Structure 1
Amino acid sequence: MFNDIGALEIVALVVLAVLIFGPDKLPKVIQDVSRTIRKIREFSDSAKADIREELGPEFKDFEFDDLNPKKFIRKQLDNDELGLKEIRNGFDLKKEMNEVADAVHGRGSDDSDSSSEASATSAGGARVDMQKKSAEPKKLDAGDRPPFDADAT
């Protein structure tokens, strides 16, 4: 529960508690807090027992920790009835991402390079730069209306 609290934070909390409650009231506050935590745990345990009793004998091996999504996934991956380990080991995410990036940037095998060059060449044989944008927007005359962009409105 308190895995990420260091010694310095605990000391700071104790000093803060002494300053807020005072040394005479602090033992009473600690007793009240511990009693409240104990009652919450008892309530939780009785609720778990009631749920197990209501579920019946089919769910005797049911654990409430299985409801945590991370633990559920780990348990299913360890079970491996579906052959998920083979799929997971056969899938190299870095390799797949590099292949996609190469395809997007036009790098890769010789076939993809020649096809990208062919698509970038116009019908007249001149090479067209597909990434170059027009330098200046078109100037409007005095009576002309600006172009309408339905997606922008």
Structure 2
Amino acid sequence: MFSDVGPLELVTLAVLAILLFGPDKLPEIIQNVTGFLRRVRDFSESTKQEIRSELGPAFKDFEFEDLHPKVFVRKHVLDGESLGLADVQGALDPRAELAQVAETVREAVDEAPRETAAQPVSLTKDTQTRSPSRATFDPDAT
């Protein structure tokens, strides 16, 4: 209930309570507040039991926490057993198709006729085969 309240806040609240109510009346006020919280909790539990009894035996395992939107989505959508989400995820996963394509490419490479003597490729410029067919620059033409 108070999970986001740190120790410094609790000390501050205790000091404020002592200053406001005084050390004499503080135990009486704490008893009144805890009694009120206990009555609210009992009222809440009795209301839950009454709702469960009115719903009937079909809702025997009904929990009110399941009505929270996050719990509802987690339970009914993200589990996905009844919706077939596993099939949809499998259909959208490209790994099976990629594996099939890779296997087809491997088979095509293995079946291709291999040339026994491959022609070596030279990566240097061959200056003798090129002819100087470059046009000369004419500054008056432009």
Q: Is the pair's TM-score, using the shorter chain for normalization, greater than 0.5?
A: yes
User: Sequence identity, in percent?
Assistant: 58
Gaps of 5+ in 2: 94-142
Q: What is the alpha-carbon root mean square deviation over aligned residues?
A: 2.1
Q: TM-score, normalised by structure 2?
A: 0.59
Q: Look up the equivalent residue of 1:72 and give its one-letter code.
A: F
Larger Rg: 2
Pair 1:12–1:53, CA change in 2 (3 A): same
The corresponding residue for 1:41 is: 41
**Residue 80 of structure 1: aligned partner:** 81
Q: Distance in 1 between matches of 2:16 and 2:92?
A: 53
Which residue number corresponds to residue 53 of structure 1? 53
8 Å CA contact retained: 2:65, 2:71: yes
Show CA shifts across 1:13-37 (max 9, x none): 1001111111001000000000000
Runs of 4+ in 1 over 6 A off after TM superposition: 88-92
CA 1:15–1:71 in 2, change beyond 3 Å: closer, same or farther? Answer: same
Measured after TM superposition, the shift of residue 79 of structure 1 is 4.8
How far, CA to CA, are the matches of 1:88 and 1:25 in structure 2? Answer: 64
2:10 maps to 10
Alignment: residue pair count: 92
Q: Return the alpha-carbon distance in structure 2 between the equivalents of residues 12 and 24 of structure 1.
A: 19
Distance 1:89 1:9, change over 3 A: farther
- Return the TM-score normalized by structure 1: 0.55
Q: Which residue of 2 aligns with 1:147?
A: none
The runs of 5 or more residues in structure 1 that have no matched partner are 93-153
Output aligned runs, 1:3-152, within 5 Å.
3-76=3-76, 77-85=78-86, 87=88
User: Structure 1: how far apart are the matches of 2:33 and 2:39?
Assistant: 10
Summarize the Cα distance change of 1:61–1:22 in structure 2 as closer, same or farther, 3 Å threshold: same
- Counterpart of 1:84, as a letter, is L
